[in-house]
Every structure is written in structure tokens, then in C-alpha cells.
Amino acid sequence: MRFRFLLIALSLMLIAAPAWSRSESLTFGIVPQESSSRLADQWTPLMRYLSTRLNRPVRFMTAPDIPTFEKRVLAGEYDIAYMNPYHYVVFSNTPGYQAIAKEGGKQIRGIVVVPESAPAEDLEDLDGMTVAFPAPAAFAATILVRAELERLGVSYQPRFVGSHESVYLNVQRGFAGAGGGVERTLAIAMRERLDGVRVLWRSPGYTPHAFAVHPDMDPVLMQTVQSLLVNLADTDEGRSLLDRAHLKPLVRAADSDWNDVRQLGLDFIKTSGAP
């Protein structure tokens, strides 16, 4: 009788156990807009902070390029992921990532950069040129820019180079006549001594990148992670971590915040790297 009671009690404990045990690590995937080494330098301090507060390891992860990142998100490899607005709209459907935070008071804009000495005054002047992009499904840097070029009837040759950082270097070194990016990564590159490029065009603004969690995450853990992120700006340490990752203070997010992206009527990707 006692043995049977113990089996029943153990079964109830297993049923009630959360998706992650306290000892298990969490993976935090960062979209690779820049090199892995630069991203690690920016984001690893935040991972250490979360590890301490959650009493479990939080591991920084990224991917060698954006299409590989897309495959990993689609496969549900990250417990937490920082992804662009387009990715979020896609991956909130499958496999079902849930947004918990975003940068407050910020919108993301696509930009087109050209060599500083280029005579181009508007996008029509890029006709016939090679234009560098980080990846086919980069929302602001690729999708918004290509949509505007096509709306204007500009003929161009796309070149996908793997990251925003590579876009700016391709333009700087004359391998492309122009390139798509975003203001945040261009500002970072210029702080890292990028020169010789200028912004030719900016898109309208949209809801920025999402901090999203895997749909299987325990709701209590999800709320804890969300609270830690949105409360970062309340302390000197947290503000330093945000600055290190080049982020504005974070606010709570809801799935509907990205309806502005959904309303664009884009032909959303179903598999990684689709054009």
C-alpha cells in the first residue's frame, strides 16, 4: 500500500513539474545582424545577469548568418530569441514564439547607404547597380528596401552578404553601389570606425525587434524573464547592460504590437531563406 501511494505521489509530481527544471540552462538566441564576436561582447553580460537572477545558466547563442538563425528558430532551438519584426510575425505562427518585450519608444526603419562620394541623390539613381543586403528575410534592411526599389521600378542586382556589418563594408570597399541596413547597426558600425558611407534613404517606421519565448516555456518562468527584462532600466547595472547591447529601455509587449507588420501583406516565408 505504501509503495503504491509513493508511486501515485511521484506521478503527480511529474505531471505538475514545469517544462524546465531549475537546473536546466536556457538558450538565448540573438539574430546575427553583426559578427558573432561582436554580438557576444554586447550580449554576454546580459546573459550573466539573467543567469544570476534566474538561478540557472542562460547561454548566449547566435548563428553564422540570418538564414541559419531562421532555421534554428523554426526548429524551436532557442528558449528565448531576439528576432526582427518579420521573423516574429512568421515564427509566432510556427512554432509559436510569444513576444514578451520590445524596446520602448522606438520604431525600426530600413535605410539605404551609399559611398560618401557617390553622386546619387535618390533611390532612382541606383538603377543598374549591385545592392548589398544582409539576407532575404531581413525585415527592414532587405524587405522594406526591396519593396521600395520595386515600387519605383529601379532595376538592381541583389547581393546577400550575411550580416549588416558585411553590407556596410561592401559599400565602403566599392563591392556594391549601395546597401540595405538599419540605423541601429549603422550607428554601431560608425562607432567602430566605419567611415566613407552615408544614408541615402530611410523607410517609414515599424514596431522593432521582439524578445520572444518558446511556446513550451513554463508561464511562471516566462513572466519572470519578462519582468527581469522590462525592469532593467530601473537600476544602474541594468542600464549599463542595455547600453552594452545598444538597446533602449524595454517594455512589455503583446502579439498585436506587430500588426503593423502583418498589415503590409507581405508574402511571409514558410522556410528559412526564402526570397
What's the pLDDT score for residue 125?
98
pLDDT tens series, the chain, 275 aa: 433 433 333 333 333 334 444 448 999 999 998 889 999 999 999 999 999 999 999 999 999 998 999 999 999 999 999 999 999 999 999 999 999 999 999 999 999 999 999 999 999 999 999 999 999 989 999 999 999 999 999 999 999 998 999 999 999 999 999 999 999 999 999 998 899 999 999 999 999 999 999 999 999 999 999 999 999 999 999 999 999 999 999 999 999 999 999 999 876 444 333 32
Residues of the chain with CATH 3.40.190.10: 24-106+207-262, 110-202
* Per-residue H/E/C for 122-136: CHHHHCCEEEEECCC
The model's pLDDT over 121-141, given as tens digits with 9 standing for 90+, comes to 999 999 999 999 999 989 999
- Beta pairing partners, 80: 28, 213
What's the pLDDT score for residue 163?
92
DSSP state of 217: S
Q: Which three cell numbers stand for residue 206?
A: 515599424
- CA gap 147, 167 in Å, rounded: 18
Task: Sheet containing 178-182: give its strands across.
Answer: 156-160, 129-133, 178-182, 110-115, 197-202
The domain at 110-202 falls in which architecture?
A: 3-Layer(aba) Sandwich (3.40)
The domain at 24-106+207-262 falls in which architecture?
A: 3-Layer(aba) Sandwich (3.40)
- CA gap 199, 182 in Å, rounded: 10
What's the pLDDT score for residue 10?
36
User: Cis peptide leading into 119, omega within 30 of 0?
Assistant: no
The model's pLDDT over 188-216, given as tens digits with 9 standing for 90+, comes to 999 988 999 999 999 999 999 999 999 99
What's the pLDDT score for residue 192?
86
What's the pLDDT score for residue 22?
41
What's the pLDDT score for residue 267?
61
* Pairing state between β 129-133 and 178-182: parallel
